[in-house]
Amino acid sequence: MWLYASVTGDQEFMDRYGYELILDTARFWASRLENKNRQIHESVNEQGITEFTETVTEDGFFHICDVVGPDEYKEHKTDNAFTNYLAAWNIKKAIACCDLLKAERPGLYQELNEKLELERWYPEWIRKADRIYLPEPNENGVLPQDSTYLTLKEIDLSKYKAQDFVGGIFHDYNQTQINQIQVSKQADALALLFLFEDLFPREVKTATWDYYSERTIHDSSLSLCTHAALAADMRELEEAYRLFEKSTEIDLGPVMTTSDAGIHAASFGGIWQGAVYGFGGLRTLEGRLRIDPCLPEAWKKLTYEIIWHGQRLNVSVTHEQVRVKNLTKTEAVELELCKKIVWLEDEVTAELKK
């Protein structure tokens, strides 16, 4: 919702739907916070029956327990990094929205207060927001996917990473066993780095990328495109293009049965993101447009268009330079182009470093 509002400036949408969605989801996350660190342990007894045990400790933080994060191969986990950071962002954004509405839109605030009990939830958000447990990188700079991932058993995943079909790991392991080894179905901690690229320094992003890339087997159609975009960000262009190419083969590749139950429509959006967010270098950070592209060797040129605050922008990238044209020209656009702030009225260019 916030990204849409930042890109479009659609205030009517925010008034009718956006604020309410941000505030209501923040109520949900606040209700899921526990002031105890509750770990769920999964095992199989002698009869082959899965059993669950639980340990509880107190540490002064609020935790989110018993969740499945983006990685669907990890169940009943505590403090999934993606989930905790996004929940904290959601709650803090709700606080900011309340403050904004109270000051500038008291009538709308009162309508939402009657529907969502904001006067009850606001103090709870304030009390909990800065005490949500946010996993930190370890001594090697790796962000833990959840509270136990880095302690799990490691196995050789090369066979499963090389397979053209998905789910091959289930030929050798059941879900309980998969839950206890270092393997990810899809981007998880890396999806967090994709959404919040300025959250951690580059060395943490690199270490986290290296770690989870080795342990992700891409059994989801939404995984390769995220990895491809991050690889492009880090200028690992050969790997980025390999992952991007593989993402385009989900319904058009060597396994022609993948679309038997329907095409992977969401992954088409991911392919667009891999090209435009990855090689095209497009991002929006805190309401600011950023373009910092790079091209793989296989491409001579990449061109795409976006609409930013009502202005249609044409972006053209070669190996030598990037050119951005404002096709609408009714307003100047501020953007970060190749790490420099510029104002775009008609056309701007920047040279790309080799």
Strand partners, 37: 57
CA angle in degrees (0–180, nearest 5) for 66-225-293 = 125
CA angle in degrees (0–180, nearest 5) for 19-29-194 = 80
Written as six digits, the tokens of 261 are 């139950």
Distance CA 322, CA 88 (A): 36
Minimal CA–CA distance to 148: which of 88, 69, 227? 69
Locate tokens 């959404």: which residue? 195
Sheet of 347-351: strand order equals 302-308, 311-317, 321-326, 347-351
Q: Is 72 a catalytic residue?
A: yes
Whether 325 contacts 347, CB under 8 Å: yes
Whether 282 contacts 324, CB under 8 Å: no
Question: Parallel, antiparallel, or unpaired for β 333-337 and 288-291?
Answer: parallel
What are the angstrom distances between the C-alpha of 104 and each of 90, 107, 158, 242, 295? 21, 9, 56, 49, 45
User: Alpha carbon 106 to chain centroid distance?
Assistant: 33
Task: Indicate the residue type of 206.
Answer: T
User: How long a stretch of residues is the chain?
Assistant: 354
Taking phi over 0 as left and psi of -120 to 50 as alpha, with beta for the rest, 341 belongs to beta
Cβ burial of 231 (10 Å; 0-12, 13-18, 19+) is buried
- The packing angle between helices 19-32 and 81-104, to 10°, is 130
Catalytic hit among 72, 111, 124, 245? 72
Task: Indicate the residue type of 321.
Answer: Q
Q: Catalogue the active-site residues.
A: 72
